[in-house]
Amino acid sequence: SGGYRTPASRRAPPALAAAHSNIRTPYVYGATGPSSFDCSGLTSWAYAQAGVGIPRTSEAQTGAGTRISSMGDLQVGDLVFFFNDLHHVGLYAGNGQVLHAPRTGTVVRYESMSTIGGPFMFGVRV
């Protein structure tokens, strides 16, 4: 059991797979894919590919499911929120990694949650 947890729900694995299919896609503020994304555009598009409608903005996505307060309880595919104003969201990818669209000038990528630049606030299990 090398720390791997079973996926959060049947919807989480296809959502994460959809986001993974967009590795290296450019970040564009306000973009909802599939040729470019912002952070919440990526997460909402990914869940849409899994047949799940979630709100468009990171702030609204905080209400899309069950809140997970402890990083240790996160499961693959959970939404993870950063910064006190909750302006950044990504998909938890396991092992302390997030799959996200970071900011202008970057691309969709995996990154350690410890290098996001703002504190992890909580997760949401859709």
Cβ–Cβ under 8 Å, residues 58 and 41: no
Is 100 labeled as catalytic in the residue annotation?
yes
Q: Which one from 8, 12, 39, 124 is the annotated catalytic residue?
A: 39
Convert 100-123 to b/e letters by CB count within 10 Å (16 or more is b): bbbeeeeebbbbebeebeeebbbb
Q: What angle do CA 39, 40, 43 make, to 5 degrees?
A: 95
Q: Which one from 100, 108, 113, 122 is the annotated catalytic residue?
A: 100
Q: Which one from 88, 101, 120, 126 is the annotated catalytic residue?
A: 88
User: Which sequence positions are flagged as catalytic?
Assistant: 39, 88, 100
